[in-house]
Every structure is written in C-alpha cells, then in structure tokens.
Structure 1
Amino acid sequence: MDVNDIRIAFTLFSMVIFLGIVSWAFSKRNKQSFDELGGLPLMDDQAPGALSSQGGRNE
C-alpha cells in the first residue's frame, strides 16, 4: 500500500460525503424547512423606531 492508494481512498471518501450532502440539500423532505429559513432575513421582527423604546439612540 503506497501513498497513491491512500489518495484514491481519500478521494472516494470525499466524493461520497459530497454526494451525500448534495442529496440531503436537494431532497424534497427538506424543501419546506429550507424555504422558511431562507426567508428569515426578509422578515421584520420589530417595527421601525423600536430601538428608541428599548433605550437605543434612535430618537
């Protein structure tokens, strides 16, 4: 067993892990969860100016 066998094994292992992650990311079972998480940055939790009522400097 030389270094090339180790490189081949590592490459195959990495490819299997990569394909597993890709199949998990694009599975239909996770679509709704990922769509909800993708919309989080666009949702407003507080109304504009809410920092002033919490003691912020937005007066």
Structure 2
Amino acid sequence: MDINDFRSLITVLGLLCFLGIAGWAYSRGSKKGFDEAANLPFAEDDDSVPGQSSRPR
C-alpha cells in the first residue's frame, strides 16, 4: 500500500462521514430538535422581571 492508496482511502472515508452527517441533519427525526434549538434565542427566562436588569449592581 503506497501513499496514494492511503490518500484515496481517507478521501472516501471523509465523503462517507460527510454524507452520514448530512443525512442525519436532513432526516425527519431530527427536525423537532432542530426547531427547538432554533427558537432558544427567543425563549423568555422564567426568573426575569420586566424592567429589571439581570446584572448585579
């Protein structure tokens, strides 16, 4: 096995990893978790009071 065979093997493994991650990201089962994560910045804190800063003075 020379270096070019090793490089080809690494390229094929990288492609398979990429396709696996892309398949997982676009699968229907992952949609709910991704939708929840996308809305996290808009979620309100339960312990925050309107008009008060959360920083200590």
Verify same fold: TM over 0.5.
yes
2:39 counterpart residue number = 39
2:4 counterpart residue number = 4
Alignment pair present for 1:23 and 2:26: no
d(CA) in 1 for partners of 2:49, 2:39 = 18
Deviation at residue 22 of structure 1 after TM alignment? 0.3
Query: If the length of structure 2 is used for normalisation, what is the TM-score?
Result: 0.83
The structure 1 segments of at least 4 consecutive aligned residues displaced by more than 2 Å after TM superposition are none
d(CA) in 1 for partners of 2:3, 2:34 = 41
Aligned length: 54
Q: Which has the higher helix share?
A: 1
Structure 1: segments with no counterpart, 5+ residues: none
Instruction: Give the aligned CA root-mean-square deviation in angstroms.
Output: 1.5
Structure 2: segments with no counterpart, 5+ residues: none
Where relative contact order (Cα < 8 A, 6+ residues apart) is larger, the structure is 1
Q: What is the percentage of aligned positions where both structures have the same residue?
A: 41
